[in-house]
Amino acid sequence: MNIVILDGYALNPGDLSYDCLRQFGTLTIYDRTTPDELIARAIDADAVLTNKVVFGEREMAQLPRLRYIGVQATGYNIIDVEAAHRHGITVTNIPAYSTDSVAQTVMAHLLNITQRIGHYAEENRAGRWSVNPDFCYWDTPLMELRGKQMGIVGLGRTGMAVARLAQAFGMHVAAYTSKSQDALPEGVAKLSLDELFATSDVVSLHCPLTPDTRQLVNAERLALMKPTAILINTSRGPVVDEQALADALNGGVLYAAGIDVLCEEPPRSDSPLLHARNCFVTPHIAWATLEARTRLLRICEDNLRAYLEGRPQNVVS
């Protein structure tokens, strides 16, 4: 069996090993693959592993040998799954490997915005505290989380993990979810989407990207938010209208945003959120802890083994 990893650097920049996959056949690893390189690199592959390399009808039609695509991520919108089904290609993904890491990133963004630890550490490194006339100083709002409302859009595994962390900080938790109120954990209130945006001090997005959720956060919904509110997005970039969010931040419609995902990755240098007021953008790293990537690789191995044994798991095609 010929196995080709098309963008192996994303998962493994050098601190993991793909050797666990060599048991299944001949393994070829490319750090990165451009669209123009894809066909030549995958032409003899029985199985390919991809994180962000796109497979549509055009690509699959040129790869008659291909029978398996393993997406090394939870989201699989890079694959035309209907085309894969027509071509007899099994597509799998990696669910629930980064739940705790993503929830941790949500709280990291929230704590950064409310306490600005990095800002003060850099100011002091530059000598500001040493020449300060008082025993302390602050030049940003400092906020206590206890008693604030955390609004969560999408109460799956990660949303639930964020809810637990928020409650540990003494926050009230509300959710926009398809679950009934009776099915929600104690202390989590079900709200309509507009009510959640209007009443929450923090809104954290944990919904998949679908036609219904694309630009779910738009100018009209941002206008509902408190001017002191914080928006956090660790789900998918296109869930947010980026220009509308930049305008809202620059115009004081809401206080701050913590963003780990953008519509275009890597972004253009003029991407509006990179320069917006009180917008803190991290480079899509919520999933990337060593522990989460280790789990991802283990599930990737399990998925490939299950497929070869005729009992495929985590199938999305």
Examine residue 139 and state whether it is found in any structural domain, yes or no.
yes
* Res 13: pLDDT: 97
Q: Read off the pLDDT of residues 5-61 as tens digits, 9 standing for 90 and up.
A: 999 999 999 999 999 999 999 999 999 999 999 999 999 999 999 999 999 999 999
CATH for 28: 3.40.50.720
The pLDDT of residue 95 is: 94
Range of the domain at 52: 2-97+290-308
Tens-digit pLDDT profile for residues 196-206: 999 999 999 99
Same domain assignment for residues 116 and 184: yes
pLDDT digits (tens, 9 = 90+) for 224-263: 999 999 999 999 999 999 999 999 999 999 999 999 999 9
What mean pLDDT is predicted for residues 202-219?
Answer: 96
Inside any domain, residue 264: yes
| Total domains present in the chain | 2
Same domain, 123 and 34: no
Lookup: tokens for 42: 């995958």
Is 235 found in the same domain as 112? yes
**Res 308: pLDDT:** 97
Residue 313 within a domain: no
Do 80 and 26 belong to one domain? Answer: yes
Residue 316 included in any domain? no
Q: CA 231 to CA 278: how far, in whole Å?
A: 11
pLDDT single digits (tens) 283-304: 999 999 999 999 999 999 999 9
Which pLDDT score is estimated for 12? 97
Q: 64 to each of 27, 59, 316, how far by Cα in Å? A: 19, 10, 20
In a shared domain, residues 31 and 161: no
Asked if residue 317 is part of any domain, the answer here is no
HEC profile of 78-103: CECHHHHHHCCCEEECCCCCCHHHHH
> 166 and 273 share a domain?
yes
Could you read off the pLDDT of 80-123 as tens digits, one per residue? 999 999 999 999 999 999 999 999 999 999 999 999 999 999 99
Q: Are residues 18 and 160 in the same domain?
A: no
Q: How far is CA 157 from CA 51, 117, 203, in A?
A: 21, 29, 17
Token pair belonging to 296? 């991802």
pLDDT category, 68, cuts 50, 70, 90?
Answer: very high
Q: Is residue 191 part of a domain?
A: yes
Q: Residue 203's Cα: distance from chain center in Å?
A: 15
Q: Do 65 and 194 sit in the same domain of this protein? A: no
Q: Which residue has 């949303």 as its token pair?
A: 159
Residues 103 and 31 in one domain: no
139: amino acid identity, one letter? D
| 120 within domain boundaries | yes
d(CA 232, CA 236): 11
Q: Is residue 47 part of a domain?
A: yes
The verdict on 144 and 275 lying in the same domain is: yes
Q: Active-site residues: which are they?
A: 236, 265, 284
- Burial (CB < 10 A; 0-12, 13-18, 19+), residue 263, is middle
Mark whether 145 and 245 lie in a shared domain.
yes
Calpha distance 259→281 (Å, rounded) = 5
Tell me: do 163 and 33 sit in the same domain. no
